[in-house]
Structure 1
Amino acid sequence: MLAAAHGGPALAVTTIAGLLAVRSELDATDAVLVTAAVLTGQLTIGWGNDLRDLPRDRAVGRTDKPLVTGDLPVLWVVVALGATAVACMALSAAVGWRSALVNVVLGAGAGHAYNLGLKATWWSWAPYACAFGTLPSVVTLAGPDPAWAPAWMTAAGALLGVGAHLLNTLPDLDDDERTGVRGLPHRIGATPSRVLAAVLLGGASVAAVLGPAGSPPAWAWAALALAVALAAVTLVTRGRTPFRAAVAVALLDVVLLVAAG
């Protein structure tokens, strides 16, 4: 079930949300509720993706997906998707309608919009920019004084999201082309996608260091150098390694935010 839900990315996004919640003014209960709301939303996106892609995955002979190999019954995933969607809405509502709308509509909703068609268009990047860009606001809107996250934080999240999208798609470019999926990475090509992703990830890190008020401390500059190095890794590696590097950059940027207070 976790494999069909794209467990790695789902847990990475949830970890980011959890760290942001720790940084915020939320009490312990609300921090747990917000993190759980994000997790359930991410699980629905993953399961929805594999259900939607099942015919295409079978056509190209994917052997790394349990729905395709038959190791996981389709009915199980359908039931889990429905139950988790209800849980996502309930958990989101528990921390306030503002945060709930952002998480359900702009977060999980953007992911499902990608699954249901945007992934095959020039606009394949938009759901990632929307979901990652609004993730900090899911937390800040759940606080005692609900407010949108600062613009620089939203920008950093959006840049990270688009960069991750570009890199996550690269290993599947050929299979996607064979089944009619042509998002932004397919249309601009592998090398431009890789270069653009590195630039976006670097930009997100710069925003995370320079965005907070005051002069960045020395350790922040060191962290920025590490993030830029990880972004460079995406240019020289293949397979899933570039996407893992993107996730590492995202987590490093969130640590920067938490440490900066």
Structure 2
Amino acid sequence: MLGVARASHPGPAAAVTLAAVLLALTWGASAGTAALIGVAALAGQLSVGWSNDLVDRHRDRTSGRRDKPLATGEITPTSVRAAIVVALVVAVATSLSLGARPGGLHLVLVATGWAYNLGLKRTVVSWLPYAVCFGGLPVVVSLAARGEAGPVWIVVAGALLGTGAHLVNAVPDLEDDRRTGVVGLPHRLGARRSVDLATALMLAGTVVTVVVPAEGLDELGIAALVLCGGLLVAGRVSGGRGAFPAAMGIALVDVVALLLRS
């Protein structure tokens, strides 16, 4: 069971679920609705994470990935397929319980994550599923919690954050990916340019999040921009090793600012 849990990409799944629940509560959703949103988000994320490791198990084995339970033989493909089926059933049931519009849109986002795993990750548009999913999730939450799609700026900020997250997430595995036939946008850009672009996109997401809803700069906006600017400078001064954590720090500021602005 521990191996199956590790194969689900638990970190990103937990982060997305927490962000969705916090956003739902911020927008006045009832405890029951927020819980349904959380379960739907978690189940969808788990299905995407498991399918990723299932599809990539042969590549991971070739690359000697000891952190991948499927690649090491700690768990079997059959057990992961069973977990995927359960996750998809839960995702469909809980998503549709939120209503036709939010539920249907959430299932489209889950399908988009699967499309990335099944082939889009190997193309120049490998960033698109991340942009769609990060930009679309706030719309799902807003439709479920408030019955409306929510402001456009949140979609834009989410898409910028998602694209940046894709670029920095791919950087540590660029060489292994190339050797096993995966050549998405980060692989075409290279590590340094991927991190540079990711940092710029996340910084742009911060600007959208803190400036647009306030129609200008206030204390929160100034604090967020100063913090992100400091992270950007620190990442450049420290060289390649510091660029990745700096980009992740900017992403964290984006998420916090998004919650405070909502």
In the superposition, the TM-score normalised over structure 1's length comes to 0.91
Matched, 1:63 2:43: no
Alpha carbons 1:92, 1:104 under 8 Å: kept: yes
Question: Structure 2 vs 1, CA of residues 67 and 234 (structure 1 numbering), >3 Å: closer, same or farther?
Answer: farther
**1:187-235: per-residue Cα shift (whole Å, max 9, x none)?**
1211111110010010011111012145443133212322343455665
Larger mean Cα displacement after TM superposition, 47-56 or 73-82? 73-82
Aligned to 1:131: 133
Which of 109, 116, 119 is residue 117 of structure 1 equivalent to?
119
Alignment RMSD (CA, Å)? 1.9
Alpha carbons 2:60, 2:71 under 8 Å: kept: yes
Q: How far apart in 1 are the matches of 2:5 and 2:253?
A: 24
**1:93-141: per-residue Cα shift (whole Å, max 9, x none)?**
1111111111111x21111010000000001000000000101001111
Aligned to 2:145: 143
Alpha carbons 1:231, 1:245 under 8 Å: kept: yes
Q: How far apart in 2 are the matches of 1:142 and 1:231?
A: 36
Aligned length: 257
Q: How far apart in 2 are the matches of 1:247 and 1:95?
A: 31
Q: How far does residue 60 in structure 1 lie from its aligned partner after superposition?
A: 1.8
Q: How far apart in 1 are the matches of 2:246 and 2:40?
A: 26
**1:65-118: per-residue Cα shift (whole Å, max 9, x none)?**
11111122222211111101110111111111111111111x211110100000
Which sections of structure 1, spanning at least 5 residues, go unmatched? Answer: none
Alpha carbons 1:194, 1:234 under 8 Å: kept: no
Question: Structure 2 vs 1, CA of residues 123 and 54 (structure 1 numbering), >3 Å: closer, same or farther?
Answer: same
Mapping for residues 97-112 of structure 1, pairs under 5 Å: 97-105=100-108, 107-112=109-114
Aligned to 1:30: 33
Q: How far does residue 142 in structure 1 lie from its aligned partner after superposition?
A: 0.7
Q: How far apart in 1 are the matches of 2:50 and 2:208?
A: 32
Give SS of 1:141's match.
Answer: helix
Q: How far apart in 1 are the matches of 2:112 and 2:246?
A: 23
Give SS of 2:28's match.
Answer: coil
Q: How far does residue 155 in structure 1 lie from its aligned partner after superposition?
A: 0.5
Q: How far apart in 2 are the matches of 1:166 and 1:229?
A: 21
Aligned residue identity for 1:14: T
**1:149-168: per-residue Cα shift (whole Å, max 9, x none)?**
21111000000000000001
Alpha carbons 2:21, 2:34 under 8 Å: kept: yes
Matched, 1:73 2:68: no
Matched, 1:91 2:101: no
Q: How far apart in 2 are the matches of 1:254 and 1:233?
A: 20
Q: How far apart in 2 are the matches of 1:110 and 1:233?
A: 35
Aligned residue identity for 1:256: A
Aligned residue identity for 2:257: L
Aligned to 2:166: 165
Aligned to 1:206: 207
Question: Structure 2 vs 1, CA of residues 63 and 176 (structure 1 numbering), >3 Å: closer, same or farther?
Answer: same
Mapping for residues 172-211 of structure 1, pairs under 5 Å: 172-211=173-212
**1:162-193: per-residue Cα shift (whole Å, max 9, x none)?**
00000010111111111111000111211111
Q: How far apart in 1 are the matches of 2:133 and 2:216?
A: 29
In the superposition, the TM-score normalised over structure 2's length comes to 0.91
Q: How far does residue 237 in structure 1 lie from its aligned partner after superposition?
A: 4.7
